Structure 1
Amino acid sequence: MRQLGFTLIEMILTIIVGSIIVLGIAGFVELGASGYADTVDRQRLQTQARFVLEKMSREVRHSVPNSIESDSDCLSFYPIDYSGFYSVSAADNLSLSFIVGNETPPSDYSGYSMIINPSRQSDLTDHGIALSGASNTITLSEPLDSESIANRHYIYSELVTYCFDSSASRITREVNSNTVQVADSVEAATFNYSEPTLQRGGIVHIGLTLSNNGESSNFQQDVQVLNVP
Structure 2
Amino acid sequence: MKRNGFTLIEMIMTIIIGGILVLGIAGFLELGMKGYSDTAERQRLQTQARFVLEKISREIRHSVPNSIEVTGSTDKCVSFYPILYSGFYSVSSADNLSLSFLVGNDNSPATYDGLNMIINPSQQDDFTDSDIFIALSGASTSITLAQPLASESIANRHYIYKDLVSYCFNSSSKAIVRNSTQVADSVTNGDISYDAPTLQRGGVVHIDVTFESDDESTSFQQDIQVLNVP
TM-score by length of 2: 0.93
Give the 5 Å matches for 1:29-40.
Answer: 29-40=29-40
Distance in 2 (alpha carbons) for counterparts of 1:155 and 1:208: 31
In the alignment, structure 1 residue 157 sits paired with structure 2 residue 162? yes
Residues 175-210 of structure 1 show CA distances to partners (whole Å, capped at 9, x for unaligned) of xxxx11111111121111111111221111112111
Match of 1:83 in 2: 86
% identical equivalent positions: 69
Match of 2:6 in 1: 6
One-letter amino acid matched to 1:187: T
Deviates more, 1:135-144 or 1:116-125: 135-144
Match of 2:107 in 1: 104
Distance in 2 (alpha carbons) for counterparts of 1:137 and 1:118: 21
Superposition deviation, residue 42 in structure 1:
0.8
Unpaired segments of 5 or more residues in structure 2? none
In the alignment, structure 1 residue 217 sits paired with structure 2 residue 215? no
In the alignment, structure 1 residue 119 sits paired with structure 2 residue 116? no
Give the 5 Å matches for 1:131-150.
Answer: 131-150=136-155
Cα RMSD, aligned residues only: 1.3
Unpaired segments of 5 or more residues in structure 1? none
Check the 8 A contact 1:118/1:228 in 2, yes or no: no
Match of 1:184 in 2: 185
Give the 5 Å matches for 1:50-61.
Answer: 50-61=50-61
Residues 129-181 of structure 1 show CA distances to partners (whole Å, capped at 9, x for unaligned) of 1111111111122222221111111000100111122111111111xxxx111
Deviates more, 1:70-79 or 1:5-14: 5-14
In the alignment, structure 1 residue 130 sits paired with structure 2 residue 118? no
Superposition deviation, residue 226 in structure 1:
1.5
One-letter amino acid matched to 2:209: L
Q: Secondary structure at the match of 2:11?
A: helix
Distance in 2 (alpha carbons) for counterparts of 1:110 and 1:12: 84
